[in-house]
Each structure stands twice: as structure tokens, then as C-alpha cells.
Copies of this chain bind each other. A is one copy, B any other.
Amino acid sequence: MKLIASARMQAEPSSDTALRLEDFLPYRLSVLANLVSGSLARVYARRFDLTVPEWRVLAVLGRYPGISAGEVAERAAMDKVTVSRAVARLIARGRLRRGTNAEDRRRSALRMTAEGRAVYQRIVPLARAYEAELLADFSPAERTSLDQLIQRLTGEAARLREPMAPVQAADD
């Protein structure tokens, strides 16, 4: 049955065309990020009954108390729906308070309650410790290198996400 194997034969993909998933950067990044997020979440999810979006909201508010839900979404690279729900849950558990922005009453002004801060202040050291363990074997030079590579890749990926800006004019 095996005739002369021609390139035209639409056979099983041969090793020269087959893509090695385990070497493919998007796949590797995805696996790595999931592993890291998952193992970090283990540290706080059960102990504090906190989801990843909730932790991110707290993390942003720890640095920028009083900002609005929209600003949280922007700073945490989260969807506004996800933020809305995480905030609702955090408020329900007494970890956040929702004020109103005095200048623009559509906007919320989110702040942690004392209870929220207590949770936050217990998680931050755990998060730092996790990161430290992850990087324990990396030299300062390697950390700098990692830092720069991630930053550049993120910039590239952001550029590639937008379908190439039109060369002429015609904004749509």
C-alpha cells in the first residue's frame, strides 16, 4: 500500500512540519503561568477563602487605597465584570468598604476595612515568600535578565494583539 511518499500525499505530519508543543513559547508560558498561579493560590485560597481576582483587588487597593473599581480593573489587568464581582464578594465578607467619589458620584471609592487589611497583611508576606522560593536559585544577574525578558515579551505581545495599525490614515 505504501507508494512513493510524496510531499503532496497529505500524510501524517512528518517531523519537519510537526510543531513541538513543548518547545512552543506560547504554550510554555501558559503552562508556567498556570503552575505558578495555581501553586500560589494554594497558599491563600483555602486559608483565607480568597479567589485570585479577590486577592488581586486587595493587592491593588493595598497600594492605591480609595481608587474606583474601574481603576482597579486597569491596574490589575482584569475585566471590569470580574472586578465588580470580586468587590461585591469582598464587601459581603466585610473586607472592603465602598464609598463614593465626591467629584463623580458614579465612581466608587474602595477601601479595605480593618478586617480586609488584616487579611492583606497576612498574605503579603506569604506572597513574597512564595516569589522568593521560586527565585531562590536565581542569581541577581539572572533575575535582572528574567525581568527584562518578561517586560520585552509583554510589550511585544501587547503590540501583536492589536491587528497592525493601518499604514495610511483612516481610523476606525
Contact = CB atoms under 8 A, between A and B. Distances in A.
Contacts of A13: 62-63, 65, 117, 120-121, 124
A135 B28 CA distance: 14
Nearest to A23: B147
A80 interface: no
Contact of A157 (B32, B60, B127): B32
A38 interface: yes
Contacts of A26: 33, 36-37, 40, 127, 130-131, 134
Contacts of A34: 33, 77
Contacts of A167: none
Given A13-B63, A22-B75, A134-B160, 7 more contacts: A19-B124, A26-B130, A29-B36, A33-B34, A39-B160, A130-B160, A142-B149
Of the candidates A24, A56, A133, the one having the most CB atoms from chain B within 10 angstroms of its own CB is A24
A93 interface: no
Contact of A32 (B33, B35, B59, B137): B33
